[in-house]
Amino acid sequence: MKVDRAAVKKRSGAALIATVLIGFIVLSLLSATVISITWKTLRVESWQTEQIEKIRLDYLARTAAKAVTDKLTADPDYFGTLNRNGFVSVPKTITDGAFSATLDITIKGDDQRASVVAKASSAKGGSAVVRTTIDLTTDPKTVTWSSGN
């Protein structure tokens, strides 16, 4: 079989163009895959950061409610008339590294029951609320816990 040299010389760059196009398609697919993986990794990292913040806010609210509840249980007259009229604390800002939260505590009740509500909220919009109800008429005093936003 004889090859026509004139036909080959007319299309000498066709193989190069095909190779470049195939290389471009392969690189585009690889780039799209890398971008997709990076995007999903960033989304997971953001979700994990939010979950860690929720856990920290919940822990902060529970700790504050536990401290106030322990004090009320040990000495119910400690809050005196504030317990009957209600007591709302001045918001306290707590900072630990990059984490910053505001803590509010509310105490309401009467001679039979006291209710403590601790709310921790962050600047990013997350919050956690923990409620305790203390039955002061029983000995030992009964504490009921609940949480939610």
3-state secondary structure of 11: coil
Read off the pLDDT of residues 116-140 as tens digits, 9 standing for 90 and up.
899 999 988 889 999 998 887 777 7
pLDDT reported for residue 4: 60
Task: Please name which of 100, 103, 105, 73 lies closest in space to residue 87, comparing C-alpha atoms.
Answer: 105
pLDDT reported for residue 2: 65
- Domain positions in the chain are 14-148
pLDDT reported for residue 10: 65
Cα(10)–Cα(149) distance, rounded to whole angstroms?
Answer: 76
Cα(103)–Cα(133) distance, rounded to whole angstroms?
Answer: 19
Helical (H) or strand (E) element with 82: helix 80-85
Question: Which residues are 113's β-sheet partners?
Answer: 135
pTM of the model: 0.70
